[in-house]
């Protein structure tokens, strides 16, 4: 018995000592000065690699591209610290010549690398010339396709001569999540083969330098530079956290536990259920929205994507019929448990897009009519967002807003009203027939659709796909889901699917220009069946009117108001043609803990940037964060 008693006492002593350790996640750093952030890349296999220009070599959102890198411009997906557009390393906006074959960039003076060397035009020229002569770097191909030459008339000016007109060439150096970062010439020119150069420790342009990192790739710690005043964010003040740690906290449940224990200040994303748990149990946790749906709607639009190289989906009537068989309320409940921000049109309902597209087009949408040949319908129901809010109110109570403007922002505006009668008429006009409860294609085969979903790797989208399959099945279509898991990207890119739940629309968010995704929708980029499709026109849809719109956008400047008009023409075209069925914004359940830090961005009072911490744009968050203790 004495032995057992000894064992028990030892175990209790060990647990007591463990408790002390467990409550302090980081050794040798003051918790009050440290911001702990989830890195959604997880464990980095090659953690000692900081050469971000080497493709796929190490981590990017380990803090490397948020805190250590910099480039000419940033466009904020929300409102921005000082407007949506920020001249970062550049001192002004890009200056194009009349035919967009030349871009001049004026550089900001007084910016220094973390080793004390000044950033000048020589670094830019070196970066571009290195990419011109080296294959296999992350931005080699993009530079080689566009740039004929680069010159530096003085240390603070660079001139790009382009191979052909490109009015959106600056997009390559404008951060929306990331962009092409500038290289320190004085470091890389001595590195030898730069495809094999690890760049450890990195010499940074951002306000932080590398403090330490885990050899197993679980965490990275960055420390505020003593000379942070000589970096671009200094214009907005001193970054709050002295240390920023990016960690791999594990699966969603563990992220929730870690934040409940105040050991993870920013969760990048969790499940809707995890978000609701935190909202209920943690007074210090906050999302983008103060109440439901909490999540930040990313400028990304998940959708039902038809494969237009499959003859089955050639008919517009059929695509519209399928849209009218979807009950978006049920899809919202199934996917996000109601915490979705819906969009009927081909633009994400986020950032400044509602102001430029959703609100101004509401009248057009209300009047929009479908003629089935037998009757005419107005399919748009402007109250669906409100209906979702009303549906959730009994169970969620005060968390559901009642102000119509807030509801529109949080849940979205309207969507297409389910209309099986109109769907029947459209299918019949397209040559489909119904026998008993089952529908048949014009050539007499059973009308079956396989919806490819990602599976457990992206459960929210998978649940959306399953609900849509169920709704189509109830109508008599043989619809099933195919779980692709890790092969989704290959199947999507190679066109190996009938219908897929994914996204083909990503935008700047804060800026109304749609060329970020739309340019790649030009018919010139559509691959032959079976060949790999370049991003982002996964549906491989083409239309002469669309090509015309894209070509007109190419011919005007980035800030030209005509761009918004052309964007609205695109919206009308895709509403008429329904090449894909837009569903909702990609809502990210980023949760921020205010125990140690305050000043996080939020939708109501501080929409100054995207809180989703793997975005390069979150460098602006650092200057707004203040310690609470």
Partner 1 sequence: MRGYGVYLLTRLGQFVLVVFIGINISFIVTHSTPIDPVEATIAASTMFGAVNPEAIAIMRQSLKELYGLEGGLFEQYLTFWRRVVVLDFGPSLSAFPAPVSALIARALPWTVGLLVVSTVLTWILGNLLGGLAGYYHQSRTLRFAGVVAMAFHPIPYYIVAFMLLIVFGYLWPILPISGGAQINLQRGFNLPFLSSLLIHSILPITSLVLVGLGGWFMGMRSLVSNVVTEDYVTYAELGGVDRRRILASYVMRNSLVPQVTGLAMSLGAIFNGAIITEQVFGYPGIGHLLIQAVHAGDYSLVLGITTISIIAVSAAVFLIDLLYPLLDPRVRVR
Core vs surface per residue 530-549: b (16+ CB within 10 A) or e: eeebeebbbbbbbbeebeeb
Q: Which is nearer to partner 1, 28 or 605 (CB)?
A: 28
Euclidean distance between CA atoms 272 and 323, whole angstroms: 25
Nearer to partner 1, 338 or 616 (CB): 616
Shortest distance, position 501 Cβ to partner 1, whole Å: 16
The nearer residue to partner 1, 247 or 347, going by C-beta atoms, is 247
Nearer to partner 1, 6 or 532 (CB): 532
The CA–CA distances, whole Å, from 328 to 189, 220, 411 equal: 55, 41, 11
Name the minimum Å distance from CB 308 to partner 1: 17
The least distance separating partner 1 from the CB of residue 595, rounded to whole angstroms, comes to 14
Write down the least CB distance from residue 236 to partner 1, Å: 23
| Cβ distance to partner 1 smaller for residue 31 or 568 | 31
Based on CB atoms, which residue is closest to partner 1, 401 or 495? 495
Query: Which residues have CB under 8 Å from 19's CB, separation 6+?
Result: none
Closest approach, Cβ 128 to partner 1, in A, equals 14
Tell me the closest approach of the beta carbon of residue 351 to partner 1, in angstroms: 14
User: 598 φ, ψ to 5°?
Assistant: -130, 165
Write down the least CB distance from residue 305 to partner 1, Å.
15
Residue among 5 and 215 whose Cβ is closer to partner 1: 215
- Could you tell me the sign of the dihedral formed by the alpha carbons of 474, 480, 483, 489, in that order? negative
Is-cis flag, bond preceding 269, omega within 30?
Answer: no
The DSSP string of 128-175 is HHHHHH-TTBTTHHHHHHHEEEEEEEETTEEEEEESS--TTGGGGGEE
Q: To the nearest whole angstrom, how small is the minimum distance from the Cβ of residue 130 to partner 1?
A: 14
Tell the smallest beta-carbon distance from residue 356 to partner 1 (Å). 20
Q: Which is nearer to partner 1, 138 or 268 (CB)?
A: 138
CB-based contacts of 80-87 (< 8 A; 24+ apart in sequence): 80/510, 80/608, 80/609, 80/620, 81/236, 81/608, 81/609, 81/620, 81/623, 81/624, 82/235, 82/236, 84/352, 84/508, 84/510, 84/511, 85/510, 85/511, 86/620
- Residue holding tokens 């194009």? 96
Alpha carbon distances (Å) from 555 to 145, 353, 559, 562 = 19, 22, 12, 10
Give yes or no for a contact between 158 and 121, defined as CB atoms under 8 angstroms apart.
yes
Identify which of residues 29 and 571 has a Cβ nearer to partner 1 in the complex.
29
The minimum distance between CB 41 and partner 1, in angstroms, equals 9
Q: Give the nearer residue to partner 1 in terms of CB position, either 325 or 347.
A: 347
For 21-46, letters b (16+ CB in 10 Å) and e give eeeebeeebebebbbbbbbbbeebee
Give the burial string for 306-335 (b: 16+ CB within 10 Å, else e).
Answer: bbbbeebbebebbbbbbbbbbbbbebbbbb
Structure tokens at 196: 């094999």
């Amino acid at each position: 018995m004495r032995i057992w008693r000894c064992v028990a006492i030892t175990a209790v002593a060990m647990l007591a000592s463990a408790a002390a350790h467990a409550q302090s996640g980081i050794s040798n750093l003051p918790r009050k000065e440290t911001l702990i952030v989830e890195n959604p890349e997880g464990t980095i296999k090659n953690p000692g690699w900081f050469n971000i220009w080497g493709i796929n070599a190490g981590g990017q959102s380990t803090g490397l591209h948020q805190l250590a890198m910099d480039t000419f411009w940033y466009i904020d997906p929300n409102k921005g610290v000082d407007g949506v557009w920020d001249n970062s390393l550049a001192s002004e906006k890009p200056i194009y010549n009349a035919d967009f074959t030349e871009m001049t960039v004026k550089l900001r003076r007084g910016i220094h690398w973390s080793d004390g060397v000044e950033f000048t035009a020589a670094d830019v020229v070196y970066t571009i010339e290195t990419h011109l002569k080296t294959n296999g770097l992350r931005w080699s191909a993009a530079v080689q396709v566009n740039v004929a030459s680069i010159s530096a008339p003085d240390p603070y000016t660079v001139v790009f001569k382009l191979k052909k007109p490109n009015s959106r060439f600056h997009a390559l150096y404008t951060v929306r999540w990331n962009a092409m970062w500038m290289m320190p010439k004085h470091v890389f020119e001595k590195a030898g083969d730069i495809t094999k150069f690890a760049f450890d420790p990195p010499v940074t342009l951002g306000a932080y330098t590398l403090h330490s990192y885990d050899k197993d790739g679980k965490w990275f710690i960055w420390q505020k530079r003593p000379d942070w005043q000589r970096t671009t964010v200094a214009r907005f003040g001193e970054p709050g956290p002295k240390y920023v740690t990016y960690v791999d906290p594990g699966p969603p449940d563990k992220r929730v536990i870690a934040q409940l224990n105040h050991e993870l200040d920013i969760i990048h994303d969790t499940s809707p259920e995890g978000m609701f748990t935190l909202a209920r149990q943690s007074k210090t946790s906050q999302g983008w929205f103060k109440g439901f749906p909490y999540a930040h709607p990313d400028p990304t639009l998940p959708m039902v994507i038809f494969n237009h190289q499959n003859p089955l989906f050639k008919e517009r009537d059929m695509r519209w019929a399928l849209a009218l068989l979807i009950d978006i309320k049920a899809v919202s409940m199934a996917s996000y448990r109601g915490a979705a921000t819906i969009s009927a049109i081909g633009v994400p309902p986020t950032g400044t897009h509602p102001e430029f597209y959703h609100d101004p087009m509401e009248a057009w949408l209300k009047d929009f009519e479908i003629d089935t040949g037998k009757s005419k319908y107005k399919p748009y129901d402007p109250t669906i967002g409100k209906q979702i809010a009303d549906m959730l109110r009994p169970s969620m109570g005060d968390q559901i807003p009642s102000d119509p403007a807030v509801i529109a922002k949080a849940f979205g505006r309207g969507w297409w009203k389910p209309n099986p009668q109109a769907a029947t008429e459209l299918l019949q006009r397209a040559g489909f027939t119904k026998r008993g409860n089952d529908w048949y294609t014009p050539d007499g085969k059973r009308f079956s659709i396989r919806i490819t979903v990602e599976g457990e790797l992206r459960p929210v989208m998978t649940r959306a796909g399953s609900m849509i399959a169920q709704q189509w099945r109830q109508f008599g279509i043989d619809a099933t889901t195919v779980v692709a898991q890790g092969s989704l990207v290959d199947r999507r890119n190679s066109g190996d699917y009938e219908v897929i739940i994914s996204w083909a629309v990503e935008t700047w968010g804060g800026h109304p220009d749609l060329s970020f995704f739309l340019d790649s929708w030009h018919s010139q980029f559509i691959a032959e069946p079976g060949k790999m499709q370049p991003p982002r026109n996964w549906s491989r849809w083409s239309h002469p009117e669309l090509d015309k719109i894209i070509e007109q956008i190419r011919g005007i400047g980035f800030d030209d108001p005509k761009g918004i008009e052309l964007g609205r023409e695109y919206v009308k075209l895709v509403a008429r043609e329904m090449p894909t069925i837009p569903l909702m914004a990609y809502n990210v359940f980023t949760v921020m803990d205010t125990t140690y830090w305050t000043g996080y961005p939020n939708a109501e009072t501080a929409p100054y940037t995207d809180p989703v911490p793997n975005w390069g744009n979150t460098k602006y968050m650092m200057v707004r964060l203040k310690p609470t203790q």
